[in-house]
Each structure stands twice: as structure tokens, then as C-alpha cells.
Amino acid sequence: MSYLEQSFSVKFDYKIYFTTALFHLENTILSNFFKERSATGGQKIYFVLDEGVALAHPNLTNEITAYFALNQEVKLIPDFLIVPGGEAAKNNNDLFDKIVAAVDTYGIDRHSYIAAIGGGAVLDLVGYAAAVSHRGIKHIRIPTTVLSQNDSGIGVKNGINYKGKKNFLGTFAPPLAVFNDETFLFTLSDRDYRSGISEAIKVALIKDPDFFYWIENHTTALVNRDTEKMNYLIKHCAKLHLDHIAGDDPFETGSARPLDFGHWAAHKQEQLSNFSVLHGEAVAMGIALDSTYSFLTGLLTEAQLQRILNVLVQLEFDITDPVIQINDATSPILKGLAEFQEHLGGKLTITLLTDLGTGKEVHEMDHQLLIQASAYIADFVKNKLSINSSNN
């Protein structure tokens, strides 16, 4: 027997910029970025906008047009594609087709750029289309939500939902760069603004206890939309995610997914609720469930668990609802375990907590303990409501 073998590595690097008013004419961050990457052959840039962002910032396309009229390092395609925001962006395959059609129509080649402005779902959609068109067009992400600025928008994953399953089609393809503009956060609803904080709690609980304590000490400021505190949360959360990506398995070839702590139930809950529950809201409930399960298995003390649940409640998250409630072994949310294993490949791997800031991988979940965990959370919420009523 004879064979040939080759081995090679590919280096990826990208920067995450933090700025205010990215497309104001006096802001040179974006124009300097293109100047550093100028190439012959007429580079182009095509923008896809989240519909909610376009409505909240009605002058945005005019600002972009004026910006690239002044800064001509790349040629702006003046036809902006506006797509629905939220999970609808990933559920409609026609939107993917429209982006690919634009690549063909406008001759967007591998030296050109596709930029996405929006929440995480829109970034996922556009990133996937960019990654598979011409086997990879340079992709620029401009996240507009707390969740996408501190988590999904700064990672290496792209994808769309298919056959009713979250992220069934997708790629690992890092963006060329990410531009976090705080002004997009000012127009978010309180619900959307708060939702993304759950991902910061998640990464703090598995990687950084001091960050969890910081969140715990600043829940009031975060709920009240303190810009300085939110900017710190976003930047530190993004750093923790980037540190993880730089580790041994950035493209998730193994079965371990520590950054998916709380997500097996969250992904299923989103689907079962027909995505009426926001991703961050579902993650908060998933964190509550897996933290409580960690306590019931003896990994976490009750005092530690109650600190976690109290932080979630103080940030005004619902930590349970009828969809995620587990009453018996036939509860629909439990199907999320099998689907999570299928998505991971290999054996089931779930991250639980052994301490605030320390995760542990387990490979099975006891359904009876999950039923108990769900009941514990329901009782916790009931007692909170009872205390609040008596105080009023």
C-alpha cells in the first residue's frame, strides 16, 4: 500500500473595532481600514441591512452613500438589500438566494466585500452567503444588538436554519473585521437591549468569576441602560469569546462546546415558541435550568445557584415559562438533548458548573433530575413573586 499525505495550517486574524457613529464623515476608522487593504481591480462593497435597523435609522443608507462618496477606496454598490431581522432572516432560504443573486448581478468577487449591518441572525445569514459564494467573499460585520456585539457577531460561525433545525446549514468562516458602533444600541427596545446580557452571564459563569461578580454588582445600572457599564460588558464579553476561539478547537471539530452552556434547552425553546422568545431570553432560561441541575447533582452549592438565579431575575429575565417547563419525560423541550447531540456530532457533551466561573463537561442528563430542576425554578419564581407582593 502506498499513499501521499499533506498537512498545512491556515492563519486567521481579524480585529474588532469599537467606535461611535461609524458612518459619520469625520470618522476615519472604516476608510483607514480599506486604505490598508487596497488592491488593484476595482474592489466593491455590497451592504445587507437588518430591516429593524433601517427603520430605526432611516437616514442610514444616505449616510453610507455619502461616506463612500467621500472615501472611494472601494466602490459602493448603491443597491442596498434590506432583510427581515431576527430568526426570520435565517428561516427564509429566499433571502440567501437574493444575496447570492446580488453577488452574480454586481460582479462581487473574492477581492470585494459583503457587509452586514444588523443583529446576530442577519449576520449569520449574510456570513453564510459570503462564505459559500465564490468559495469565500470578504465579509464585514457591523453588529447592532448587545448580543451580536458581545457574542455572535464576533465569532467564526455562520449559518441558516433548515428543515426546522437551528443552524443546520452553515460554515466556520471568520469575518474580515467587526465594527461595533455603540449608537446602534441606543434605538434598541429595552427587551432587545437586555436580552444580550445573558451571553455575558454565560461566559462569565464558565470562564471568569470576577466578571460574574461585576455583573452581579451592576445589574441596576445595566437594566437602566448605563452606556459606560454596557460598553465595558460588551468589550469584556467579546474578549472572553475571542480568547476561547483562539484555543485548541476554534472550528469545533470535537464534541465539547463550553460556550453553549445553557443552549441545548435554549435552541429547542426558540423553535418550540416559533422564535417568539428571543435567543438571549432563551439562553437565560437555559442557564437557570443547567445551573439548577448542577446544584441537584452536587456540583454547585445552593448559595451559588441562588446568586445566579437572583442575577437573572434582577436583570428582569424570565427564568422559566411553559415551553421550557419539564413536567415529565415526554416534555417537548427534552428533545433538545438529542438534537443538541446531533448538532455537536459524537457523544452528548453538556457543560455544567462546579463553581462560579468554572465549567465541567458531562455526557448524560438525567431526565428525573431535569424535572426536579424545572420544579425548583418554578418554586423560586413563585417565592419571588410572593415576596414582592407582600412588600408592595
228/337 same-domain check: yes
Q: What is the CATH number of the domain that holds 75?
A: 3.40.50.1970
171/210 same-domain check: no
CA distances from 290 to 181, 213, 298, 345 (A): 33, 19, 12, 21
Angle 13-18-23 (CA atoms, 0-180°, nearest 5)? Answer: 105
Residue 123 lies in a domain: yes
Residue 9 lies in a domain: no
**Cα–Cα distance, 103 to 100 (Å, whole number):** 5
Residue 148 lies in a domain: yes
111/138 same-domain check: yes
69/141 same-domain check: yes
214/72 same-domain check: no
Q: What is the CATH number of the domain that holds 357?
A: 1.20.1090.10
CA distances from 150 to 58, 147, 168, 238 (A): 25, 5, 23, 5
151/270 same-domain check: no
| pLDDT tens, N- to C-terminus, the chain (392 residues) | 898 888 877 777 889 999 999 999 999 999 999 988 876 667 899 999 999 999 999 999 999 999 999 988 899 999 999 999 988 888 888 999 999 999 999 999 998 999 999 999 999 999 999 999 999 999 999 999 999 999 878 888 889 888 877 788 899 889 999 999 999 999 999 999 999 999 999 999 999 999 999 999 999 999 999 999 999 999 999 899 888 777 665 666 554 566 789 999 998 999 899 889 999 999 999 999 999 999 999 999 999 999 999 999 999 999 999 999 999 989 999 988 888 877 666 678 889 999 999 999 998 899 999 999 999 999 999 887 666 655 65
Name the domain boundary from 138, 154, 187.
187
76/111 same-domain check: yes
Q: Which residues of 35-47 are buried (b: 16+ CB within 10 A; e: fewer)?
A: eeeeeeeebbbbb
305/378 same-domain check: yes
Residue 391 lies in a domain: no
Quote the pLDDT of residue 228.
95
323/175 same-domain check: no
Residue 392 lies in a domain: no
**Cα–Cα distance, 380 to 95 (Å, whole number):** 42
Residue 2 lies in a domain: no
Task: Name the CA radius of gyration of the chain, rounded.
Answer: 22
Quote the pLDDT of residue 241.
85
58/153 same-domain check: yes
* Main-chain dihedrals φ then ψ at residue 176, nearest 5 degrees: -70, -35
Collapsed DSSP state (helix, strand, coil) of residue 181: strand
Residue 173 lies in a domain: yes
Q: What would the grid cell of residue 269 be?
A: 425553546
Indicate the number of domains in the chain: 2
Residues of the domain holding 211: 205-247+254-386
Residue 218 lies in a domain: yes
228/111 same-domain check: no
